[in-house]
A and B are shown apart, each in its own frame.
Chain A
């Protein structure tokens, strides 16, 4: 059972994190001319779907682990601050998805939260399996928020750099 859950959780993580990364790359390419055309929109929509499948698999298998802890008497693990930080970040991914759908958050912050949250969840998952790290919930969330701010700036800089590169490339050709 544990092996099955690990496999499903890994697949979910790969699809989710990989998809979130691809979204940033596709967005950067799509926005190089300032406009997302129908084909680019189609690719993005397909990638969003992959991310959602990944999220679903990760969440369901994640709760499978929690049930395993309950059945094997390891309930102390349910109060692990790293677990609660990971759960908080999953909630942020969900809230961010809704805010993006409702157009209540702009791309600058929306993509930063999505990208950084998925990669942080991966890192926290690794820390959870390697239980020797004693990290407090506030410290994890503090570093996460710093990563979001830095990530927002870096992603925007990457999009700008790509836009400038394509503009120069088109001028010279």
Chain B
């Protein structure tokens, strides 16, 4: 693997982890009875930007290298399901994350201007938890896919 591809894959993982971490911190913030809305807004924006960065770096790695070099190895090996199920699903489910995070950022921006009702806070928590869980599924799928390439 060339240095550029290593940088792209590392960036993809790093930005993804930053996004997941920010979603975790966002969720714990929103769970407080008086959530720190200004900080929560920053976490949501940070998550959205991280996922966009992860999308770009991962996308470049995927288009430049995965399809022609990694996928054939997985398909020829003992774990073809690592590509057929986990890669195919992950590459599409990942696309949800930047937009979910962006929607959270914009919704929390409104919540910043009014004292958020308990119902609004709970709804924000639900979306934050869903986004966090989906991000975790995507992260773990990445490990499964890499493990299948041998």
Given A67-B9, A67-B13, A71-B6, is A78 in contact with B28 using a C-beta cutoff of 8 Å?
A: no
Judged by a CB distance under 8 angstroms, whether B149 is at the interface is: yes
Query: Is B136's CB under 8 angstroms from A66's CB?
Result: no
Given A60-B17, A63-B17, A75-B149, is A98 in contact with B143 using a C-beta cutoff of 8 Å?
A: no
Query: Is B1's CB under 8 angstroms from A71's CB?
Result: yes
Query: Is B13's CB under 8 angstroms from A98's CB?
Result: no
Interface string of A83-120 (1 = CB under 8 A from B): 00001000100100110011000000000000000000
A91 to B31, CA, bound (A): 18
Judged by a CB distance under 8 angstroms, whether A59 is at the interface is: yes
A139 to B143, CA, bound (A): 22
In the complex, the chain A residue whose C-beta lies closest to that of B79 is: A79
Given A67-B10, A79-B147, is A98 in contact with B129 using a C-beta cutoff of 8 Å?
A: yes
How many A residues touch B, CB cutoff 8 Å? 22
Q: Which residues of A contact B149 (CB under 8 A)?
A: 75
Total A-B pairs in contact (CB under 8 Å)? Answer: 49
A75 to B140, CA, bound (A): 14
In the complex, the chain B residue whose C-beta lies closest to that of A66 is: B143
Q: Which residues of A contact B136 (CB under 8 A)?
A: 91
Judged by a CB distance under 8 angstroms, whether B146 is at the interface is: yes
Query: Is A78's CB under 8 angstroms from B146's CB?
Result: yes
- Residue B28 contacts which of A60, A75, A98 (CB distance < 8 angstroms)? A98
27 contacts between A and B (CB under 8 A): A56-B21, A59-B21, A63-B13, A63-B17, A66-B13, A66-B143, A66-B146, A67-B10, A67-B13, A70-B9, A70-B146, A71-B1, A75-B147, A75-B150, A76-B150, A78-B143, A78-B146, A79-B79, A87-B140, A87-B143, A91-B136, A94-B24, A98-B24, A98-B31, A98-B129, A101-B32, A102-B125
Apart from A67-B13, A101-B28, 5 more pairs, CB < 8 Å: A60-B14, A70-B146, A71-B6, A75-B146, A101-B31
10 closest A-B pairs by beta carbon, nearest first, are: A78-B147, A101-B31, A79-B147, A75-B150, A102-B31, A101-B28, A70-B146, A75-B147, A76-B150, A75-B149
